[in-house]
């Protein structure tokens, strides 16, 4: 059983695409399960952390931080390299999921009801620059996760990480600011934190060795 989770807090409505949407409802959808509960894929989360690790190593190229990154994520382009850090899908809290499943099974709510409560649908269309009118055939509907939702993803270390891998992971979490579609255009504001079983935030405490190496307190 894990004792550390990555908590993903959505600071804005966010579309973390799961492929094509429901016909006649949305063109771009989020990922969700049979109960209508959205989730964030673990591979997507790990990819964001790996991206930030590469940027951090640009500022901290010392061997100890390179070794910390390799312990966590493996060596790039080396299929034989072992990644000790594993992260599962980010989901809502277990008691929330249990209540939702009970409600759906008892037919007090449907999966569509649950999904509609936790998401919103946004419509956008291209505009003719000359007339200012919407261009025909360009209307797209996108489902987005609502602002304020928290998802929790359990972490499996695959061994004792030690201080520096923990510090690097915490630094990566602090560095992630955007997630999902349109993040390069400033959309999908998010906050990532590492928390223990009681919900205590470990992130800045763990990050101290990295922050100290950069001359910050």
- The encoded tokens of residue 105 equal 């099974």
Please report which confidence band the pLDDT of residue 158 belongs to, taking 50, 70 and 90 as the band edges.
confident
Specify the pLDDT at position 18.
Answer: 65
The whole-number pLDDT of residue 205 equals 96
The β-bridge partners of 120 are: 144
pLDDT of residue 169: 97
Gap between the Cα atoms of 153 and 158, Å rounded: 15
Per-residue pLDDT at 118 exceeds 60:
yes
Q: Single out the residue of 187, 203, 186, 205 nearest to residue 195, CA to CA.
A: 203
Task: Give the mean model confidence (pLDDT) for residues 189-208.
Answer: 96
Of 59-63, 97-101, 106-110, the least confident: 59-63
| CA–CA distance, 214 with 195 (Å, rounded to integer) | 24
**SS3 state of residue 107:** coil
Q: Please tell me the distance from the alpha carbon of residue 151 to that of residue 155, in angstroms, as a whole number.
A: 13
Q: Pick from 165, 168, 124, 167: which is nearest to 143 by CA?
A: 124
Looking at residue 187, its pLDDT comes to 85
pLDDT at res. 2 = 59
pLDDT score for 216:
46
Alpha helix stretches (DSSP H) within the chain: 42-59, 63-73, 94-105, 111-118, 163-175, 203-213
Whether the per-residue pLDDT at 88 is higher than 60: the answer is: yes
∠ CA 96-156-90, rounded to 5°: 35
Q: 68-83 pLDDT, tens per residue?
A: 999 999 987 777 778 9
Checking if the pLDDT of 137 tops 60, the result is no
- On the CB side of 181, how many CA atoms lie within 13 Å of its CA? 16
Q: What is the pLDDT of residue 151?
A: 98
Interval 144-163 mean pLDDT: 94
Distance CA 161, CA 30 (A): 33
State pTM to two decimals: 0.88
Q: Would the pLDDT of 99 be above 70?
A: yes
Can you name the residues that pair with 178 across neighbouring β-strands?
A: 189
Phi-psi region of 162 (alpha: psi -120 to 50; beta: other; left: phi over 0): left
């Amino acid at each position: 059983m894990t004792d550390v989770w990555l908590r993903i807090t959505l600071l804005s409505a966010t579309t973390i695409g799961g492929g094509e949407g429901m016909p006649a409802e949305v063109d771009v959808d989020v990922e969700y399960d049979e109960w209508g509960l959205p989730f964030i894929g673990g591979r997507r989360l790990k990819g964001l952390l790996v991206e930030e690790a590469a940027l951090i190593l640009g500022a901290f190229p010392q061997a100890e931080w390179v070794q910390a990154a390799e312990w966590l994520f493996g060596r790039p382009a080396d299929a034989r390299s072992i990644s000790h850090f594993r992260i599962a899908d980010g989901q809502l809290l277990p008691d929330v999921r249990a209540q939702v499943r009970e409600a759906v099974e008892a037919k007090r709510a449907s999966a569509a009801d649950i999904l509609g409560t936790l998401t919103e649908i946004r419509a956008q269309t291209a505009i003719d620059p000359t007339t200012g009118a919407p261009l025909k055939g360009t209307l797209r509907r996108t489902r987005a996760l609502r602002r304020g939702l928290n998802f929790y993803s359990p972490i499996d270390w695959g061994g004792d990480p030690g201080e520096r891998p923990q510090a690097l992971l915490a630094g990566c979490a602090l560095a992630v600011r955007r997630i999902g579609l349109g993040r390069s255009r400033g959309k999908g504001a998010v906050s990532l934190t590492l928390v223990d079983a009681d919900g205590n935030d470990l992130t800045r405490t763990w990050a101290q060795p990295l922050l100290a190496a950069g001359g910050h307190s």
